[in-house]
Structure 1
Amino acid sequence: MFTGIVEELGEVVRLTGTSGDSALVAVRGPVVTSDARHGDSIAVNGVCLTVVDVDGDVFTADVMGETLRRSSLGVLRPGDPVNLERAATLGSRLGGHLVQGHVDGVGEILGREPAELWETVRFSLPPALARYVVEKGSITVDGVSLTVVEATGTSLSVGLIPTTLKLTTLGHKGVGDPVNLEVDVLAKYVERLLAAGTGAVAGATAAGTADPTGTGAARTGGEL
């Protein structure tokens, strides 16, 4: 679990095997490797990866096919900057929101509107994710916890402060560049629970287990 507060801007050292069903990525990050061990979790551009090796300030992680298909990690190249965050601990401050590091889809930057003290950035939104994104709700973009300024069925916009622009990949990307999106997991659980509840009620009614009269006698078939 993560909080969406990027700890440092790392650098891709190498990425091999992306044409197949798995890949191996090596990333330089002095902060996140300072206490990293085999088996630890580190989010790379919002994707939770498991450390398999640490060599100085470089860690290596395996990337499976599903991750390559659902995220933008496969298009990274040596030298590219990446957002890095270590997994949260029980004593961590929740400065952002609960982030799993399980990317739901990839969007792209549609436009940037600089202002005096911040910048508004608009991203495309895959249709399947639109129902989970609401104005003033939370979303993770390339591992950065952000507040949604505006949301439509096909896009969303956020406001980025100078610190975010300077210390994350979002300040370096241009129009057309891909970004990893993770919607608020609470929204997905609520949807699933509501759907399950509706199905249970419908099933009970169809089976005749409901007793609208309150007499304790359930209706079955066409009988009263």
Structure 2
Amino acid sequence: MSDNLLYVFIDESGNSSRGNHYTVAASWCLSSRTRTGEVLGPTKDKLLASLDSSPSELKGASLSPGALDTLLSSLDSHGYDDTTVQHSRVPWATTAPVRHTIHDANPELAGKVIGDVTGSPLDAPELLKTLSLASVLDPIFSPEQLCEDQFSETKVVLDATTWDRPSTRIESGIEELDLPVPESLSFEIRDSKGTPGIQISDLAAYSWLRNRRRGDCNEAVKSIDRRRFTDF
């Protein structure tokens, strides 16, 4: 068994309780680093350096569609040069250093349907977040599609404490259903400011949502789509 860790960084864009668009994005990578904040750090630094405004953090909502197109399109090339992530002997079919999963929904429609079914409309936003989290984690629940010999541990890293209850629900569901997931699976809540992987997922989630809302960020979405786990 390899000493590498499989990291899954997760962020959202939009509001799970209102509006027409809500997106959750996950960025997957393999790393030998045990400090979560180090993973994808060099990639984040190169992406930041390419921006004229020189922000301290990658935030999709603060960037123009053109900048998002450039950043997401250059993610692969920077990833191949990033010493904190693996780009050979990765647990998926391609050699891409970063992969994505995406889930998007209409919160108003989802809230109405969930509220009608459960009889508790106030719980609908949390349930939508939980279902979205389960969706972007789908490759973990299909271990025959991941080469587990390439990693010894799986870390799901989420932005902010709003994910506490959804991640707890997922953990409980895995235990109760005895799902065939990697043996060492943990959930970790982190601040995006110190977590490059979450910042990259922020770019992916916002670009995807903006494309659905306004029809721009086309190149960003194309590059995300090329890295998606379409085989799941």
Q: Same fold (TM over 0.5)?
A: no
Greater CA radius of gyration, 1 or 2? Answer: 1
- TM-score scaled by length of structure 2: 0.25
- TM-score scaled by length of structure 1: 0.25
Instruction: Give the number of the structure whose residues are more often strand, by fraction.
Output: 1
